[in-house]
Amino acid sequence: MQCELCGAPIRGAPKKVQIEGAVLQVCEKCARLGVELAPPRPVATGRRTQARTQPRAAARPPQRGRDVFDMMVGEIVDDFGDRIKKARLDKNWTQKDLANEIKEREILIKKIEKGDLIPEDAVRVKIEKALGIKLLDVSDEDLERRGTGKITTTVGDIIKIKRE
């Protein structure tokens, strides 16, 4: 093998160095011109060196936890800022009045109305309640899929609780 910097034949193992951003395999002489990169760490095999006192449990496939998107119903409408502003003006409220009503900062209301910020679910619910509007685009299929809206305990949840 030849040194990638000077072209001389490399005796022994090449050195991996970084010289001005380039990673090169070089000889001993050229290795001092750059920063030597550490060799990669060996990958752990997952075995422990100490003896186990308890027998190892059978390997289980990883279980998929509940996802935030599983409970999500519909999407926020595209013109949420305009709808909020229109409903606020229909009540003759300023942005400060709305912010005080939902106990949030006025700057948050300004950003939401401009469309610079999509409201989080908690803020969205407070705005909907205060102004009497709906900001979610919900289809009939989504409502049927959601059912009661309550999270019920499943057999898998009970098994998980028992193991813990």
pLDDT for position 49: 52
pLDDT for position 129: 92
Residue 65 has pLDDT above 80, yes or no: no
Residue 89 has pLDDT above 80, yes or no: yes
Residue 69 has pLDDT above 70, yes or no: no
pLDDT for position 2: 86
Q: How far does Cα 151 stand from its chain's mean position?
A: 22
Q: How many CB atoms lie within 10 A of CB 113?
A: 19
Q: What are the structural domains of the chain?
A: 1-38 (no CATH), 74-139 (1.10.260.40)
Q: Return the higher-pLDDT residue of 46 and 97.
A: 97
pLDDT for position 161: 62
Closest by Cα among 43, 41, 2, 49 to 25: 2
Give the C-alpha separation, 119 to 13, whole Å.
58
Pairing label, strands 22-26, 75-76:
unpaired
Q: What percent of the chain has pLDDT over 90?
A: 27
Report the pLDDT averaged over residues 85-91: 93
Residue 110 has pLDDT above 80, yes or no: yes
Give the C-alpha separation, 90 to 111, whole Å.
19
Residue 8 has pLDDT above 70, yes or no: yes
